[in-house]
Chain A
Amino acid sequence: MTTRSAFRPIVFTLNGARASVRAHPMARLLDVLRESCGLTGTKEGCGEGECGACTVLVDGRAVNSCLVPVAHVAGRKVLTIEGLKGRHPLQRAFAEHGGTQCGFCTPGMILAAVALGPHPTLEDVRRGLAGNICRCTGYEGIYRAILKSGGASRASDSGTRNAGSTRQEKTSHAKGEARSRVPRPASCSRRRSRPAGRLAKAGVPPRRRRRT
């Protein structure tokens, strides 16, 4: 049997912080997030790309994390529902407008909505959420929530597609950090990146992001 230490670390940016994971390169991003990183907001519905419950953003674009080998996010920016800290306008809007009932589809729905950027039209929303299935709400509440809140109206919310957003993301991450005190398995180490991260304080220069 292969032990975890046999794997070279895969380094990526997770919700604005540097993450380093020792996992099989073909492990699903979904499993790495949930099990190695302790971020269980990302759900598995179907495991075959149909339902969108596992949607996360990679470099600002929605993907099904059940179909992504973790090796493919090396050097990239991953945004999960935890990265929104429970304070995103879309999260509030989903609660207020009946966009969520059992909640299983909600993280994926919200991230797919974030990927649409600010002020999407109904047509944008229908198209952008076509890969996200909800068994409870009948979708009307979801569409209403997104349209009423103006989508991902703050520049930082669309996450990661434009370089300018990076700084804001980190700032907001610093605030949310205290909430996630879940003990993490040693296979995923997450640190706040520069400039406030512990590594930076210790004088270790930030690592260059590699595009792979």
Chain B
Amino acid sequence: MRTALSALTLLRPLSLRDALRMMRDDGPLTPLAGCTDVYVGLNLGTASDRRFIDLARLEALRGIAVRGGAIRIGALTTYSELLRSPLVRRRLPMLASAAGAIGAVQIQNRGTIGGNIANMSPAGDTLPVLAAADARVELRSVDRVRTVPFALYYTGYRRSVRRTDEIITAIEVPPVEGAQWFRKVGTHAAQSISKVVMAGVRAERPRIAFGSVAPTVVRARRTEDALAAGATIAEAREVLQLDISPIDDIRSTAAYRREVAARLLTQFWSSTAP
């Protein structure tokens, strides 16, 4: 590890209340969940954070349950837990698909859904699923709990509405009507960061979201409107180009991403055709 341990502080609360107090009084603190993002930075010596708070013992952040018709997924839920959950497999197959496409088993056993959201990478593989499902993010601080629609969670590249004293406690997913679809395109099946990732729900008004093609995950609203209004898939592919704004980077080019996004749209549309 290239980061000096002696420079690091870890607070280890046993209850959510204590954790939230520490977030307010001892901050700024960087939460540790499954550590699959944080430790890469510490190992490479590129992380600048020095004060951490361990969420691992907060039972309040675990578990998958139905609450008021919605599925409530604790922020500490790992990808393996999502994959094993009959509830997730039955009601949110696109989330199970995303969980199975992340990293490899070792990462799936440790990485959490809360960490995927909080890490704010535009390539996070669960993010298009949560966007297409109109999920809500539950944020807690000492004095309040608020629930933010996923579409409003990110405010820009690696920026979100989460305040430094807030912890993501859960994700709520309302019932999803219609056929669900997920596809990730990367260099290989395992351990690759998405070049393009898409989740879609085929209903009267389709819901379509893409990752890795804009500064944040995006809902392709114009494309959705077009398809709902009866556009052909060829027309929708044109409209899609207005919804996304990919760039050239180390993993791919903007042109490739535009082409792949359009092909994914076609695939989604034909494979979920009623």
B interface residues (Cβ-Cβ under 8 A, vs A) = 1, 5-6, 8, 10, 12, 32, 35-36, 39-40, 42-44, 52, 54, 56-57, 80, 103-107, 109-110, 189-191
Contacts and interface: CB of A to CB of B under 8 A. Distances in A.
A125 to B, nearest CB: 11
Nearest to B3: A26
Interface hub of B1, B43, B54, B105 (most chain A Cβ within 10 A): B105
Contacts of A55: 106
A72 B42 CA distance: 16
B43 A131 contact: no
Contact of B10 (A26, A61, A115, A212): A26
Given A68-B110, A131-B191, A212-B56, A2 B6 contact: yes
Contacts of B54: 25, 69, 71-72
Nearest to B32: A69
Contacts of B80: 61
A126 B10 CA distance: 37
Contact of A71 (B12, B103, B190): B12
A62 B110 CA distance: 9
Contacts of A47: 1, 43-44
A177 interface: no
A26 B106 contact: no
A115 B106 CA distance: 10
Interface in A62-106: 62-64, 66-69, 71-72
A28 B1 contact: yes
Given A62-B109, A130-B105, A131-B105, 11 more contacts: A24-B6, A25-B10, A26-B52, A47-B43, A48-B43, A61-B109, A63-B109, A64-B110, A67-B39, A67-B110, A130-B191
A47 B5 CA distance: 15
Interface string A27-51: 1100100000000000000011110
A178 interface: no
Contact of A128 (B1, B36, B105): B105
Contacts of A66: 39, 43
